[in-house]
Structure 1
Amino acid sequence: MPRIEFYVLSSAAPADRLRAACQLAMKAWRHGLPVFLRGCDTEQCTALDELLWRFKAEAFVPHNLQQDDPQAPVVIGLDEEPLSQQGVLINLSPTLSPFVERFSRVIEIVNQEPDLLTACRENFRSYRQRGYDPKRVEL
């Protein structure tokens, strides 16, 4: 059963949420875990792809979009089934992934934007209803 964590940011800025996703993806990759970054739409996936190239000048995070290389160490996609198992899912979509069970860890990144807060609260309840024990982590 995957470990579910909600990382809560103090700001409402969407850019802070994407940056946190990149930092968490880099950390998981450095620990040898495959990462699936699940965006909410293709525009956000493209933004994540671009940000991973430049968010840390001194570091490189090997990544690719799902349609370009589904076996990259860090894969950016939507609802495609990930090829790797037991890695980390970083969910930026307002809905639960249909593939939660494929991961050993699921991270939901929450900011203070009202609509996202509502969606994440619903996700938290949904995880509990499915028998998971989600945890809250303040960033």
Structure 2
Amino acid sequence: MRADFYLIAKPRFRDEPLLLVCELAKKACAAGQPMLVLARDMAQAERLDDLLWSFEPDAYIPHEIAGTGFDDGEDGDGEADVLIAPPEIDAPLRPLLLNLRDAPVDGAFQRVLEVVPADPSAREPLRERWKQYKARGFTLNKYDM
């Protein structure tokens, strides 16, 4: 298993961290890797849903908020390439996760992406998360964005 930490540095991402999530979703989509985004709350899920429609004029990223019923199968897991799950929706894990929540992810998956805020005071919890993933035997990577 692998954990990739993306440290926000560029002004574009500092001003709107969810734009980095959009970029990562676009890359996953282009690579044919369905992604589950674990949103912090419904407001964040809705903001990300809006941004995925508008962040790049020529990009189309098939996405949906889990449990909305738009593209849900019988089990409630949509077929969209990017499935956004607020905490109140229990969406099945996918091999590729992007975690925007406050705790590390447990369960069966291959890779987790963590977005690290530009604010130094907000980085401490993610340092702890790094240690937790390391203790679980994950391969760890850090990228400056």
| Matched residues, number | 134
Q: Which residue of 2 aligns with 1:89?
A: 97
Distance of 1:41 and 1:85 partners within structure 2: 19
What's the CA shift string for 1:56-111, capped at 9, x where partnerless?
A: 1111110000112322211001345544642x211111211233x22x22110112
> Does 2:31 match 1:31?
yes
Instruction: Give deviations 1:23-66, integer Å, cap 9, x for gaps.
Output: 10011011111111111111111110111010011111100001
Q: Contact 1:94–1:116 (CA<8 Å) still a contact in 2? A: no
- Structure 2 residue aligned with 1:73: 81
TM-score normalized by the length of structure 1: 0.85
Gaps of 5+ in 1: none
TM-score, normalised to structure 2's length? 0.82
Q: SS at the partner of 2:83? A: strand
Contact 1:34-1:84 at 8 Å conserved across structures? no
Partners in 2 of 1:94 and 1:35 — Cα distance? 19
| Equivalences for residues 30-69 of structure 1 within 5 A | 30-68=30-68, 69=72
Q: Tell me the distance in 1 between the aligned counterparts of 2:57 and 2:119.
A: 29
Measure the CA separation in 1 of the matches of 2:35 and 2:9: 24
Q: SS where residue 139 of structure 2 aligns?
A: coil
State the alpha-carbon separation in 1 of the partners of residues 4 and 93 from structure 2.
20
Quote how far apart the aligned CAs of 1:116 are: 2.6
CA pair 115-66 structure 1, distance change in 2 beyond 3 A: farther
Q: Which residue of 1 aligns with 2:4?
A: 5
Q: Which residue of 2 aligns with 1:122?
A: 128
Give yes or no for the alignment of 1:133 onto 2:139: yes
